[in-house]
Amino acid sequence: MLRRSLLVLNLAAMMGLGAAQAQTQRQAPETRQQITLSFAPVVQRSMPAVVNVYGSRQERRASNPFMDDPFFRRFFGDGGFGVPRERAQQSLGSGVVVDARAGLVVTNHHVIEGMTEVKVSLADRREVEAEIVLRDPRTDLAVIKLKNTAGITAMLELADSEAVQVGDLVLAIGNPFGVGQTVTQGIVSALARTQVGIADYQSFIQTDAAINPGNSGGALVDMQGRLIGINTAIFSRTGASHGIGFAIPAAMVRIVVESAKAGSASVRRPWFGARLQGVTPDIAEGLGLDRPTGVVVAAVFDKGPAEEAGLKRGDVILQMDGQAIDDPDGFGYRLATRALGSTANLAVMRGRSRLNLAVKMVVAPETRPRDPVKVGGRGPFTGLTVVNLSPAVAEELTIEVGSEGVAVMEVEADSPAGQIGFQKGDILMAVNRDTIATTRDVERLTRDRARGWEVTLNRKGQVFTTYVRG
C-alpha cells in the first residue's frame, strides 16, 4: 500500500513537472513589441521595387483561300472564319528595379522571350513603356529599360548570394496568376542546386516560399530587404507551388546587370578552354576521395586558358577560389560569375598530388571570321544562317570547340529549314557526302536544286545522317 502511494506521488510530481515545462515553453506575448512582430518593415522597403512585366507581340493568322471570294465573305464577314487577322500573344511576369536612376529592371528571359513590346506596371499602378536592352537565355535573365523614370526611386540592392545559408528566412515578391503583388515567406531550403534543366548556368537557390505562375522574374529577398535571387521556376506537376522553388543567385544577376550598364547587348563570359565531366564513385575511389566530388578534365584545348594554367587531361578540379566544386554545372556557374581580366585559383588533384593553379579569365577568341551565310532559294536549307566555327561561336552556342563543319546560328521561323527540323546549334558537317569546312561550302553546295539531299549533322555531340527531299 505504501509502495503504491509513493508511486502515485512520484507520478503526480512528474506530471506536475511536465506541466510546468509545457507552461514555460508556451508563453503568451508579454510586450506590445512581441505582439506586433512582423515582416512588414522588410516588405515595405522591398515591394515598391518589384514590378509587373507585360510582354506582347502581334501575330498574323494564316489566311483561308476561300476568303478571296467576295461571295464567301458576304456570308462570313471580314472578321469571320479563316480571315487573316492580328492576334496578340502576351506573357506576364514580374521584375525588379536594380537601378532607379537608369531605369533598369531585371526579369526572366522566358517572360519576354520573342516579345517586341514590353510594358511595366509599377507598385503604385503606373504603367511605363520599356525596351529590351539585353537578353541572356543562357541564364534565363533579361534586362529592360524604362522609357520614363520620373518619380522612380525604389530599387533593390544586390546582396552577396555567396553568404546565403540554408535555413535563412526569405520573402518572395511577385505577381502570381496576375492577381496583383503578393508576398510569401519561407526559408532557403538548399543551395547550389544543379541539373534542374532551366538554363545553361545552373546553381540555384532553392526555397519553400510559395512561387506560382507570374512570380517569374520576381524578387527573393533577405531580412534586410536585399535581393538574393530572381525567382525563376518551380517544381510542380500541377502548375501550383509544392514548396520547391528556384531562384537565380544575385551573383549571376550582377554579371548580367553590369553588362547591360556597360551598354552591351550580350553577356561576355570567361572561357575555360577544356571539356569537363563529373566524378563518378569509381573515379573517387581510385583517387582516394571520400566521396564523388569535383570535375575531371576530359580534354584540354590548344592555347586555351586551361592549357596555359598547366591543367592536363585527367586532372580533378576540387575547388575554385576556395569554393567546393561538386559537378560540371557548379564549375560553369563559378566560372561565369568571375570577372573578365581576373584570375581564379584552382585546387587540383593530379594522381595523388595536390596542386594550386591560377587560370586567367579571358573571353573565347574568334580564331577565324564567322563569315555568316544565309541560305536562300527554295530548297530545304532555305532559312538557315550558318557561321564558321571558333571557340567564341562554340561558347555562344554551347557546342564542342573541336567539332568539324559550320554552325547553324539562326533558323528562320516557318522556313523550309525550320519545318524540316534544323535547330540553332546544329553543326552541318556534310551535304551529299561533300565535307563542309566553311560557310562558303554551304553556299556552293546548296546553290543548285536537287531531288534529294543527304545531310550529316552533329547535334549535341551525336552525329547522324539523314535524307531530305528537294
How far, in Å, are 181, 370, 371, 396, 406 from residue 366 at the CA level?
Answer: 45, 8, 11, 11, 14
**Dihedral in degrees, nearest 10, Cα atoms 294, 300, 305, 310:** 80
**Is residue 76 predicted with pLDDT exceeding 50?**
no
DSSP string, 261-326: HTT-SS----B--EEEEEPPHHHHHHHT-SSS-SEEEEEE-TTSHHHHHT--TT-EEEEETTEE--
- What would the mean pLDDT of 145-151 be, rounded to a whole number? 90
According to DSSP, the β-strands at 86-99 and 104-108 are: antiparallel
- What would the mean pLDDT of 162-181 be, rounded to a whole number? 82
**Is residue 411 predicted with pLDDT exceeding 50?**
yes
Report the top-level CATH class of 274-360: mainly beta
**Most confident of the following: 88-97, 187-196, 202-211, 328-337:** 328-337
How far, in Å, are 274, 296, 310, 318, 410 from residue 350 at the CA level?
Answer: 16, 10, 11, 11, 41
**Assigned fold of 373-469:** Pdz3 Domain (2.30.42)
Question: Is residue 5 very low, low, confident or very high in pLDDT (cuts 50, 70, 90)?
Answer: very low
How far, in Å, are 16, 53, 138, 315 from residue 114 at the CA level?
Answer: 69, 14, 15, 42
- What would the mean pLDDT of 178-199 be, rounded to a whole number? 75
**Assigned fold of 161-261:** Thrombin, subunit H (2.40.10)
Burial grade of 116 (CB within 10 A; 0-12, 13-18, 19 or more): exposed
CA distance 441 to 303: 27
What is the percent of the chain with per-residue pLDDT over 90, rounded to a whole number?
A: 31
pLDDT of 185? 87
pLDDT of 65? 45
CA distance 273 to 392: 11
- What would the mean pLDDT of 313-319 be, rounded to a whole number? 93
The three-class DSSP label of residue 70 is: helix
Least confident of 86-90, 174-178, 319-323: 86-90
pLDDT of 242? 60
What is the residue-averaged pLDDT of the chain? 81
122 and 89 in contact (C-beta within 8 Å)?
A: no
**Is residue 238 predicted with pLDDT exceeding 70?**
no
- What would the mean pLDDT of 354-376 be, rounded to a whole number? 91
Burial grade of 78 (CB within 10 A; 0-12, 13-18, 19 or more): exposed
Q: Write out the residue limits of the CATH 2.40.10.10 domain(s) in the chain.
A: 46-146, 161-261
Give backbone dihedrals phi and psi of 334, rounded to 5 degrees, phi first: -60, -40
pLDDT of 69? 41
Active site residues: 110, 140, 216
CA distance 325 to 346: 10
CA distance 184 to 42: 12
- What would the mean pLDDT of 427-449 be, rounded to a whole number? 88
pLDDT of 241? 52
Question: Is residue 386 very low, low, confident or very high in pLDDT (cuts 50, 70, 90)?
Answer: very high
pTM of the entire structure?
Answer: 0.74
pLDDT of 83? 45
What separation, in Å, do the N-terminal and C-terminal C-alpha atoms of the chain show?
105
DSSP string, 354-402: EEEEEEE-BPPP--S----EE--TTSTTTTEEEEE--HHHHHHHT--TT
CA distance 297 to 307: 11
Q: Which residue has the higher pLDDT, 363 or 35?
A: 363
CA distance 331 to 320: 8
pLDDT of 396? 84
pLDDT of 447? 81
What is the percent of the chain with per-residue pLDDT over 70, rounded to a whole number?
A: 80
Residue with cell 530599387: 155
Question: Which residues, 6 or more positions from 310, have their beta carbon under 8 angstroms from its beta carbon?
Answer: 355, 357
pLDDT of 131? 93
Report the top-level CATH class of 46-146: mainly beta
Q: Which residue has the higher pLDDT, 265 or 429?
A: 429
Cα 421–140–305 angle (5° rounding)? 90
CA distance 273 to 405: 19
Single-letter amino acid code for the residue at 51: V
pLDDT in tens, 416-425: 888 888 899 8
The Cβ-side half-sphere exposure at 459, using a 13 Å CA radius, reads 10
373 and 385 in contact (C-beta within 8 Å)?
A: yes
257 and 145 in contact (C-beta within 8 Å)?
A: no
The three-class DSSP label of residue 434 is: strand
**Is residue 52 predicted with pLDDT exceeding 80?**
yes
pLDDT of 374? 92
Q: Write out the residue limits of the CATH 2.30.42.10 domain(s) in the chain.
A: 274-360, 373-469
- What would the mean pLDDT of 288-303 be, rounded to a whole number? 87
